[in-house]
Structure 1
């Protein structure tokens, strides 16, 4: 148990849940509920006035929602830990909360022991998620890592992209024609289409654009 109690602020727009949680947490050794807030704006104001160590933040609140409030609060108080405590288990909300800087993400059906452990872990600088959310976090970032990068110049056909790469490497039309076993006229036509689609004036400008995009 820490020498000083962990100072907790509860932000939730449902008064029954908010006050019930405050009573529950106040009974836990090592936890001090320093205040409550009914929306994101109030949470931001209370953070300045009460200096909590951890905020239990609902996501769906009127006005300034929990994700927006988290982002604003952490911009000025980066050492503070924010735990999202919400009914929402969808990936979009989870990812938005993580991008905003949330330390953890719990669902509102979490039990008192789980919430207490999460508060202590967050106060110690650890990232914490409920069991179901931990699996979602793993799956979310695994799928993101496995996803292919977005294509460069998606307006080009596969053949035009291939030719642009060779142009960026400094090959002439004749050299490209020999490399791809195509007629010179075909290469000229493709180069013309490439210049139009890239909205560049000439070959030199196309080379510059392609190289800046990493094609060479």
Structure 2
């Protein structure tokens, strides 16, 4: 990164750091988008929580994504290599030109229906962890677009530095993780024996209950531990309660 670009970026990062006083993402993003476009200059920017979120994309300029464009993107984006990088790949800052030629880009249905109407001839996109929603990990994608010139190596470096700060900031703003529902004493006893390798029949015999009751206790415990089977439950139990690994008296 050139000295001039680095000096400019540090000024932007200082302002971004000041936004650490924000209390929620809703109030943060409108102030943040102009700063991001100053750090990575472009004609537009889209801030988009990933699939599964009820939060709509935010854009600068506002109203960039019409309903028709959003519907076309949902329908056609699966064939887009840059979208795959931010949703299925590592999400590091990536220029579209690194992934495909202009001819390949223009051949996409999404180019005709989404990118050309938005003036997105050149793009730089990234995604990053953004806390969680209802206990489910959440990510945000940020896409910068230009009409006439591609993004430079300095722009990619600036985006990489911003990505780290944005992920940290949004993680701080995320609500506390939900407190797991505690297992009952009887569920604890079943899990302790499960973690020692006993079968359901053996657990039933040790606790003087029926195997069907063991199944019910495990079913409830799986839901509380958010696991899908015996091995995961045993590992989760040992992690939460190491004393369970000690031999029973």
User: Normalized against structure 1, the TM-score is what?
Assistant: 0.30
User: Normalized against structure 2, the TM-score is what?
Assistant: 0.27
More RCO (CA 8 Å, sep 6+): 2
Greater Rg by CA: 1
